[in-house]
């Protein structure tokens, strides 16, 4: 991942967001990190970025269970944006859900790179950032 690319965290757990940002700092990842507490706020902002012809994040870490708009609903709506941009966004589901149904459902979305369980290990997080095109 290039330094000028954004990383997006969509999760309703403010402590988790704080810890992920601190992890990026500890790994000396200098990418801009934007975060949202629900899918609606994230979608609104990403649509505005697209409208303003700003670069969308190269990487999204997405929770499933959130208020207002959950991760699945976000994905359905985000597909519309993703279809209209040249660069594809790597999306990782990061959830505390251990339900097999969620893991299986994630496989039906080609835009999802992987399904990860919380908490994410530092090495895994570093690998995700390093390997995102």
**8-state DSSP, 4:** T
Question: How does pLDDT run across 74-121, given as a tens digit for each residue?
Answer: 999 999 888 888 788 999 999 988 889 999 999 999 989 999 999 898
pTM over 0.95: no
Question: What are the structural domains, with CATH classification, of the chain?
Answer: 7-120 (3.40.50.2300)
Tokens found for residue 48: 């505005």
Question: How does pLDDT run across 34-84, given as a tens digit for each residue?
Answer: 999 999 999 999 999 999 999 899 999 999 999 999 999 999 999 988 888
Is residue 123 packed enough to be buried (19+ CB in 10 Å), middle (13-18) or exposed (0-12)?
Answer: exposed
């Amino acid at each position: 991942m290039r330094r000028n690319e954004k990383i997006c965290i969509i999760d309703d757990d403010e402590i988790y967001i704080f810890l992920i940002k601190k992890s990026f700092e500890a790994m000396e990842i200098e990418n801009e990190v934007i975060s949202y507490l629900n899918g609606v706020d994230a979608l609104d902002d990403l649509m505005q970025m697209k409208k303003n012809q700003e670069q969308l994040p190269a990487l999204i870490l997405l929770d499933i269970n959130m208020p207002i708009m959950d991760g699945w609903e976000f994905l359905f709506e985000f597909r519309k944006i993703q279809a209209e941009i040249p660069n594809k966004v790597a999306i990782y589901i990061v959830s505390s859900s251990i339900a097999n149904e969620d893991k299986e459902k994630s496989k039906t979305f080609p835009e999802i790179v992987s399904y990860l369980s919380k908490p994410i290990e530092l090495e895994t997080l570093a690998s995700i950032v390093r390997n995102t095109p």
